Amino acid sequence: MPWCAECDRFLSPPTVRGDGTCPSCGRPVEPARAGADSAATEEPVPFPWHLKLLAGAAAVYLGYRAWQGVVWVVERF
């Protein structure tokens, strides 16, 4: 997001004038970098252990319910 140092605030791209100045104070704004600096230095965050546990429990439960469905279909016909 564009940043105006004089007004000390972020501006949405549509509010910046066509010549790249702030609509409030008229000074040039710093262009958006879209987080290029922070994305290069940060490591990806691993999945939390409780999310893995929840996914495993859901997989076991759904597998069990699928097996029950197969048994039900076999017994029915």
pLDDT score of 31? 77
Taking residues 33-46, report their average pLDDT: 68
Q: Report which of residues 77 and 58 the model is more confident about.
A: 58
Q: Report which of residues 14 and 60 the model is more confident about.
A: 60
Model-level pTM? 0.46
DSSP of the chain: --EETTTTEE--GGGS-TTSB-TTT-PBPBPP-TTHHHHHHPPPPPPPHHHHHHHHHHHHHHHHHHHHHHHHHHHH-
